[in-house]
Each structure stands twice: as C-alpha cells, then as structure tokens.
Amino acid sequence: MFITSFILFVVLNEPHQFSMLDYWERKCNGGDMESCERVEDAQAGLEKLARLDNLAERYGNNVKRDDLEADGKPLLNVAYKQVMQDFIGAEHEIGNKELNYDDADVSYCADHFHNYWVNRKFWWPTDANGDPSWTDIYYYIIDHYHGICLRRYFNKL
C-alpha cells in the first residue's frame, strides 16, 4: 500500500515545466503591468534572435571560402568586417540605428578576435567536415563585438 501511495504521489505531483515567459504572460493576464513589459521585452528579444539566426544562416550559406580561408585557417579578421557590415546593415534596414559601422573600432575588434581564436586558442568553430563553420563564426563575431569589444575596449553599450 505504501509503495502504491508513493508512486501515485510522485506521478500526480510530477513537476510541470514552464518558462519565465509563461509566468509573465499569466501575471500580465492577471493585470500585472510590469509582467506585461517583461513579456514585450522577451518577445522583442526572440524576434531579434530569429533575425540573427537568419543572418548567420544566410552568411554561412553564401560565404566565399576562397576569400576567407588560407591554408585551412579562417581569416577571422576579414570575416569580422564582413559580418559587422552585414549585421549593422540589416539592423539599419529594420530601423534600428543604435549601431553604426566605425571602421577603426571594427578593425581593432577584428584583429583582437582573430588573434584570440587563431593565434591563442589554435582552434575555431568547425562544421562536420572540419572546415570553418561560418554560420557559427557569425554568432561568435556578433557576441564578441557586443559582449567584449565594445564594452571592454571602447566603454560603449
């Protein structure tokens, strides 16, 4: 009897997974305006992430490997400039004018990124064939630019 009761207790009390977005939506539906703002911010973030996914996929599919690889190694500093022009251009197309392409800043960040991955780590994101994964590299470049370079070296953002 005890074992049956325990099993029923565990089955009936199985934790249900839900996200913070679900939680905020429920609170928003209940009238909590702060939760409504969080839902809007989260949805905007999801839309931005979807745009980034599309940009990275497009870049990875259309990259000219001959221009971006030498002796099997990626020329990350060259790719960095291309990626940032692509990303900032796409942001401007949708009306987001917060970032502008500054050649001096991007060049510094590009060299920093290339030296870190190629000269210090001696590896970079690769695909199943062992070739540089330009889709993944796109994500890493955007993350580096916003998360490290602008913040740490230029005290921006």
Of residues 139 and 48, the one with the higher pLDDT is: 139
What span, in angstroms and rounded, lies between the C-alpha atoms of 22 and 9?
A: 26
Of residues 93 and 6, the one with the higher pLDDT is: 93
Given a cut of 50, whether residue 136 has pLDDT beyond it is yes
Mean pLDDT, range 66-86, rounded to an integer: 90
Q: How confident is residue 18, by pLDDT bands cut at 50, 70 and 90?
A: low
Given a cut of 90, whether residue 85 has pLDDT beyond it is yes
Q: Which of 19, 108, 118 is nearest to 68 (CA)?
A: 118
- pLDDT attached to residue 8: 46
What span, in angstroms and rounded, lies between the C-alpha atoms of 43 and 45?
A: 5
Mean pLDDT, range 42-66, rounded to an integer: 88
Among 14-28, 42-56, 99-113, which is the least confidently predicted range?
14-28
- pLDDT attached to residue 120: 82
In the chain, where are the structural domains located?
19-62, 64-157
Q: Could you give the C-alpha distances from 2 to 7, 14, 15, in angstroms and in order?
A: 9, 18, 21
Q: What is the pTM of this model?
A: 0.76
Given a cut of 70, whether residue 6 has pLDDT beyond it is no
Rounded to the nearest 10 degrees, how much is the dihedral formed by the CA atoms of 127, 131, 134, 138? Answer: 80
Mean pLDDT, range 93-111, rounded to an integer: 88
Three-class SS state of 99: coil
